[in-house]
Amino acid sequence: MAWPKRSAEERFWAKVERKGPDECWPWTGGRRAGYGHLVVWECGRKRWVSAHRWVYAWAHGPIAEGLCVLHSCDVPECVNPKHLRTGTKKENSGDMVRRRRFRNRGSVLTEDAVREIRRRHAQGDSQASMAREFGVNPVSINAVVHRRTWSYVSDHLESHS
């Protein structure tokens, strides 16, 4: 017995947890770096596409060359078309900094650790010893110290009074 063929839309929506119209709709299929990914067939060849880009094009039409699809909800696995818009790489980067998402998802450092690293570096602690202690590469410590990464983190805790 042959399996019935399903359309791309049927296969896509089978991997989405649809909730209320304004809520996030998580992608339940495969992911890469937190973002949903799926296989599509074009001209007899398969290729991987991001789920949020696929649903944006399905709901709103083609994505202009060079544009990103941004999430207003900051939830990478969300595929609710109401949460998606197009924007430039510069807008996407600005969103990341403004919303304090400028952190590698796999990072073991936190904002408090970054402040501690900078404080201890100013007191003369070696970058190599801090790298061992924080479980990162010495290059990562150097980038923190010289503000090539985590540049938005101030050296002092901000009081919210």
Which of 56, 75, 98 delimits the end of a domain? 98
Beta-bridged to residue 78, according to DSSP, are 26
pLDDT at position 73 over 80: yes
Residue 1 lies in a domain: no
Same domain, 39 and 78: yes
Q: What is the mean pLDDT of the chain?
A: 85
Number of domains in the chain: 2
pLDDT at 51: 94
CA–CA dist 154, 118 (Å, integer): 10
Confidence of residue 97 (pLDDT cuts 50, 70, 90): low
Q: Are 88 and 68 in contact (CB under 8 A)?
A: yes
Residue 61 lies in a domain: yes
Which of 75, 98, 121 delimits the end of a domain? 98
pLDDT at 101: 61
Residue 3 lies in a domain: no
SS3 per residue for 73-117: CCCCCECCHHHEEEECHHHHHHHHHHCCCCCCCCCCCCHHHHHHH
Same domain, 94 and 123: no
Same domain, 12 and 87: yes
Encode pLDDT of 123-143 as tens digits.
Answer: 999 999 888 888 888 888 999
- What is the span of the domain harbouring residue 26? 8-98
Same domain, 125 and 48: no
Sequence-distant (≥ 6) Cβ neighbours of residue 83 within 8 angstroms: 24, 71, 72, 73, 75
Same domain, 119 and 81: no
Backbone phi, psi, residue 157, to 5°: -65, 135
Record the tokens describing residue 50, joined without a space.
């991001």
CA–CA dist 35, 58 (Å, integer): 17
One-letter amino acid at 67 equals: L
Q: Establish how many alpha carbons lie within 13 A of residue 22's alpha carbon, considering only the half-sphere containing its beta carbon.
A: 0
Same domain, 93 and 115: no
Same domain, 76 and 131: no
Same domain, 28 and 88: yes
How much of the chain exceeds pLDDT 90, in percent?
A: 43
Same domain, 51 and 118: no
Which residue blocks in the chain are alpha helix, DSSP H? 8-13, 51-60, 89-98, 111-122, 127-134, 138-145
Encode pLDDT of 10-36 as tens digits.
Answer: 889 999 999 999 999 999 998 887 788
Same domain, 84 and 129: no
Residue 110 lies in a domain: yes
Same domain, 18 and 94: yes
